Amino acid sequence: MPLYFAYGSNMDRAAMARRCPGAEPVEVARLHRHRFVIMREGYASVVRDPGHTVWGLLWSLTLADIPPLDRYEGVAGGLYVKAQQPVTVAGGGVRRALIYLGRSQGGAPRPGYLEGVVAAAREAGLPGPYLRGLEAMLR
């Protein structure tokens, strides 16, 4: 089963159940040396930044979940590209996971988008300081 690291709207369990019915949440994980950003299109992405860490939710996917996830992420249209990245899980273990990387930077979140990301991050149990950083982007 492939692993997928979600750091934006795909942390939302109900939304993932609709998009990828075979997906199962595994645990909270972190992507080191990256920073959470909003793209020109108003959606989340991550960029390399040695001083930061992005927290998210690690999912176990079925192979059938990948095509609908690619469609949702706009891979064919060039909105996101797919990559494999090492993420750190509880206890310090490292797992390789699929991650979607946005192709642009420097935008404002679409109305209601970031609120949904914050709510999903809270439900996933991401660390308080990281949550406060996401919430600060709402202001």
9 is in an annotated binding site: yes
Written as six digits, the tokens of 127 are 């660390």
Written as six digits, the tokens of 71 are 């469609």
5 is in an annotated binding site: yes
At a CB cut-off of 8 Å and minimum separation 6, what does 128 contact? none
130 is in an annotated binding site: no
CA distance 34 to 61: 23
List active site positions. Answer: 73
8 is in an annotated binding site: yes
93 is in an annotated binding site: no
Tell me the binding residues: 4-9, 113
Tell me the binding residues for substrate: 4-9, 113
